[in-house]
Structure 1
């Protein structure tokens, strides 16, 4: 049985548009700017051939959606997943626009990927697929135009292949000036120390700050995580260092629980040779995946795919806090139920913004020819995420509104201000 759902009746695009329209109404957004922000700037669909290990040629479909660049170059991840399509990419690109704006970064929003399951391909095939996709994207990406990063099923190796391919299309004098075409690269190839943990660190930090504002610590707090990839692992790593207890984990292969706590590092070591799968871990008991969201816990962290919590299962949730490690894991109907039940939701555009903040610092490091150490990087990310958290918290308390509404108001208002100050060409 697949534990993590891959499709629901309500699309992510439906959700992001409802969230946007609700915010636009609440702040009386300028009607002309509303028209601009309600659509994407560019939607790129590419079909490209790649030779497989057996000599056969397969045709792949890749996407890059660029939503808005009023505040700076497009920025957003590339995912490799069978469910990748243009509508989901549009939704994710819009969320990136709000996320980068909320974080105060000089970026707009984009998203994309390739419609594949990477587990079906060898490392050599994935390299050729990635390089051919990068070549097909051509000048649609660039260090001052559109800067991809890792996302679901992509990693620093993917980014290294992309950077090398893109730089190889430039003259020798231009190559060094194009290293920051992507972020999330390996440290030895221009990557940032700590970039791999920055998203998970941001999720952990926003949870910690929320409880701190309540006069509580993380000691003894029980949490459950959906998805044990990069975000799920690092979030769990930092939370357990603060004394929190990992009660249960769910991925597409299994749902496991240990009432006494799951050993995070042991589970990580178990999953590494199994392409990230938690199935078969002896330090926990496997249970029915349908029970996962209804487990008694303090914190629920959906860190997998979108639309996991809906009207069909939101009423089961017993957590006090939901921290959105993934993008769009709760649909709008499910959220209404959760808020009615008094559950605090730390929204994705705040909760997992540590990733794009880390990407910004990597981009700056490459652009300026600098090299930063891990402790310096983590201090920068900590400071930036904390600043954004306190801004959102201030509006939550002032307006007596939920956290997502507050985050959206701040994000969209910043973009509106930019348009008003600059005007709209021509």
Structure 2
């Protein structure tokens, strides 16, 4: 999909096919195999990747995932997508991605630590604060980032303080940043606010009706934040159940219940519906905050929301995009809507590099300025290029990259 959208965006910009093909090539692909000591004393071999797509704007940036289905093709596509994402919101960073083929659910904490240290030993020469800055991703977290800093500092013979900026998404006590936990949701809230103000597609967030698919980090935090804006959340879901109440849900109660029971089943005074039904509810704003490919050509015509805020990665297919745009729906695409995470990651890196410590208010203010400026640029490009918001976001990124690149010229 990323390649298809890049194709459409570069077509609008009249770039030659040769130049686009050149841009799509990875700068570096690293595949490593390494043994890991298991708890029973045996050794098991693992395969990992670090893909570096583009560094025109700055050091490579992108997560490391631990998952049984990690493969070169997926990691390369995600690295390309990170190049677009950082450029779309004007960060001085490039695109990278990494992963190890493993099932972390079958590994002990000690085995995950051993695996992380072994992987970093293999890729330490290609990462670094000015080269490539990994971050958490699927089944990796701040604890794993802290281990990477520790291992990298030993290999490079640096103090922890000097090694800190090698990754972002660290724990607060180890150079992590305020605002990281809520960054994706907070960024989405700022994008939504600016888009409503600019397009007037609905009068205001206050009293608007919202359905949220997903109650994890992005969905749960977004629900909390947006309810403070006096929006009415009429539905929310986890992977198994969606709950609906047309008069609105008390989000604090819902989150408390989910934390206590691990589920939304049997939550009182609501109607249980499916995740599929949630997407088709009559509401002002739909927030897919869970899985990819949820809105497709099969259900796009049934989507009643006026605004779709993509906090998940790739929740809408290209075919669905066209159907929704033709019905004058406002899609706020993932590459913009969930960029709060990478923006605050950049601020974490910046603080580490400059030995600064910003408070929550400063992070919030800078995130708001950065992501709302990008929202205005992208909505303006949508009009000037007569295209979809998604393609406009890619145009915004590609224009920025082309100014610095020799081959991205028409």
TM beyond 0.5:
yes
Range that drifts further, 217-226 or 53-62:
53-62
CA contact under 8 A between 1:81 and 1:153: conserved in structure 2?
yes
Using the alignment, how far apart are the partners of 1:376 and 1:183 within structure 2?
18
Aligned to 1:7: none
Q: SS where residue 195 of structure 1 aligns?
A: coil
Gapped runs of 5+ residues in structure 1? 1-14
Range that drifts further, 229-238 or 121-130:
121-130
Range that drifts further, 38-47 or 217-226:
38-47
The answer on 1:190 being equivalent to 2:175 is yes
Deviation at 1:120, TM superposition (A): 3.8
In structure 2, relative to structure 1, the CA distance for the partners of 1:22 and 1:242 (3 Å cut) is: same
CA contact under 8 A between 1:29 and 1:416: conserved in structure 2?
no
Using the alignment, how far apart are the partners of 1:117 and 1:135 within structure 2?
20
CA contact under 8 A between 2:9 and 2:392: conserved in structure 1?
no
Aligned to 1:77: 63
In structure 2, relative to structure 1, the CA distance for the partners of 1:27 and 1:252 (3 Å cut) is: same
Using the alignment, how far apart are the partners of 1:421 and 1:376 within structure 2?
38
CA contact under 8 A between 1:30 and 1:416: conserved in structure 2?
no
Aligned to 2:336: 350
Using the alignment, how far apart are the partners of 1:267 and 1:83 within structure 2?
32
Using the alignment, how far apart are the partners of 1:163 and 1:265 within structure 2?
36
Taking structure 2 as the reference length, the TM-score comes to: 0.90
The answer on 1:227 being equivalent to 2:214 is yes
Using the alignment, how far apart are the partners of 2:25 and 2:225 within structure 1?
38
Aligned to 2:133: 147
Aligned to 1:10: none
Aligned to 2:237: 250
Using the alignment, how far apart are the partners of 1:247 and 1:63 within structure 2?
42
In structure 2, relative to structure 1, the CA distance for the partners of 1:63 and 1:309 (3 Å cut) is: farther
String of CA shifts for 1:364-413, please: whole Å, max 9, x gaps: 10000111111111111111111111111222233343211221111101
Deviation at 1:273, TM superposition (A): 6.7
Using the alignment, how far apart are the partners of 2:252 and 2:107 within structure 1?
27
String of CA shifts for 1:81-131, please: whole Å, max 9, x gaps: 444322222222111111111211111111222344544444333333333
The answer on 1:199 being equivalent to 2:184 is yes
Aligned to 1:301: 287
Aligned residue among 213, 220, 225 for 1:238 = 225
Aligned residue among 366, 373, 387 for 1:401 = 387
CA contact under 8 A between 1:92 and 1:327: conserved in structure 2?
no
Gapped runs of 5+ residues in structure 2? none
Q: SS where residue 111 of structure 1 aligns?
A: strand
Q: How many residue pairs end up in the alignment? A: 406
Using the alignment, how far apart are the partners of 1:288 and 1:110 within structure 2?
36
CA RMSD of aligned residues (A): 2.5
Taking structure 1 as the reference length, the TM-score comes to: 0.87
